[in-house]
Amino acid sequence: MAAAALVGALGVSVLNAPAAQAADTGITVSDIVINDIKPIVVGTSKVVRPPLTFNITLPSGYSTDDPHRYDAYPFLYRGSLNAAAGNGKNYIGPGGYTCYEISSRRARCEGYLYIDPHPTRDQVHTNSNAATWKVAVSLRLFKDSGGLKAAEHQTRSQTVRLKRAAKVTTADATPEPVTKGKKITVTGKLTRANWSTKKYNAYGARTVSLQFRAKGTDSYKTVKKATTSSTGALKATVTASVDGYYRWKYNGNTTTGTAVGAADYVDVR
């Protein structure tokens, strides 16, 4: 029967990265999956909790029945591993996780990373953090008395991409209603998160798709593409043929997430 134990310390691993110790713990962390192998998109104020799963195997003499004698979890870092783990800058750790016993020395762990864009935090405090982050693991063993026995950091070949969130405003089509076969103009605006200022700024020179879904159908199709102005403004003109919904969709890039705006229904008469 699986035994659950909360191992990740919320407020410890999140606020302060673990100090490095040069000692082999014998703990193995494997099968790490972060955010379902998808980029992590972060805005300007909302805390993001990307899902995290991994397996641990303990050395001889340690048991999953005694979670107070070990600590093992993945984390993200940029730049120097020792610097990130030493001072908590360019470091993203778990907000909490629970491990379920597979055997006396093996467990399956599930939890989440904790990313807070608040100005007082050093996780996404500058736009240069919209980049590829490396993956490492923190491993610690404790004595029966509670003192630290051994601790280490190990790097992994995995990487995770962090992206700045984007927003597209609700499409605005005019005129409404419109005569069949006549032109309508659809406008909108694209912005993206500025992690330095904690505001959303206009995102110019970006290609955005105008999509249409006919009334009574389920899927949108791209009917035209437009390039944003220096103020992020969008504008496209199309011919109205049937009733339906128009929306803007931005597909993102290496530093910016995708965005889909709310649709505007157009009555064609």
Domain residue ranges in the chain? 4-163, 166-266
pLDDT attached to residue 146: 86
- Residue 49 in this model has a pLDDT that exceeds 90: yes
Question: 56: buried, middle or exposed (CB in 10 Å: 19+, 13-18, 0-12)?
Answer: buried
- In angstroms, rounded to a whole number, what is the distance separating the alpha carbons of residues 65 and 105? 8
- Residue 1 in this model has a pLDDT that exceeds 90: no
Q: Which residues contact 41 (CB under 8 A, 6 or more apart)?
A: 48, 162, 163, 164, 165, 257, 258
- In angstroms, rounded to a whole number, what is the distance separating the alpha carbons of residues 228 and 190? 7
Average pLDDT value for residue range 142-162: 94
pLDDT attached to residue 212: 98
| Chain mean pLDDT for the chain | 91
* Whole-structure pTM value: 0.88
pLDDT attached to residue 209: 98
- Residue 7 in this model has a pLDDT that exceeds 50: no
Lowest mean pLDDT segment, chosen from 9-18, 106-115, 150-159, 231-240: 9-18
Average pLDDT value for residue range 6-28: 55
Stated as kind and residue range, the H or E segment containing 82 is helix 81-87
In the structure, what pLDDT confidence band is assigned to residue 251 with cuts at 50, 70 and 90? very high
- In angstroms, rounded to a whole number, what is the distance separating the alpha carbons of residues 22 and 99? 25
pLDDT attached to residue 121: 85
- Residue 14 in this model has a pLDDT that exceeds 80: no
pLDDT attached to residue 17: 45
Q: What is the third-level CATH fold of 166-266?
A: Immunoglobulin-like (2.60.40)
- In angstroms, rounded to a whole number, what is the distance separating the alpha carbons of residues 153 and 137? 6
In the structure, what pLDDT confidence band is assigned to residue 113 with cuts at 50, 70 and 90? very high
- Residue 10 in this model has a pLDDT that exceeds 50: no
8 Å CB contact between 190 and 166: yes
Average pLDDT value for residue range 211-229: 98
In the structure, what pLDDT confidence band is assigned to residue 87 with cuts at 50, 70 and 90? confident
Nearest to 28 by CA among 134, 147, 141: 141
- Residue 58 in this model has a pLDDT that exceeds 90: yes
Topology match between the domains 4-163 and 166-266? yes
- In angstroms, rounded to a whole number, what is the distance separating the alpha carbons of residues 64 and 4? 9
Average pLDDT value for residue range 13-38: 76
Average pLDDT value for residue range 28-44: 97
pLDDT attached to residue 20: 46
- Residue 13 in this model has a pLDDT that exceeds 80: no
Average pLDDT value for residue range 130-142: 96
Q: Residues of the chain with pLDDT > 90: what percent?
A: 84
- Residue 207: both structure tokens together: 């290609």
CATH code for 4-163? 2.60.40
8 Å CB contact between 236 and 185: yes
Q: Residues of the chain with pLDDT > 70: what percent?
A: 92
State how far Cα 103 lies from the chain centre.
32
Nearest to 157 by CA among 139, 131, 136: 136
- Residue 193: both structure tokens together: 């998160």
In the structure, what pLDDT confidence band is assigned to residue 15 with cuts at 50, 70 and 90? very low
pLDDT attached to residue 8: 39
pLDDT attached to residue 22: 53
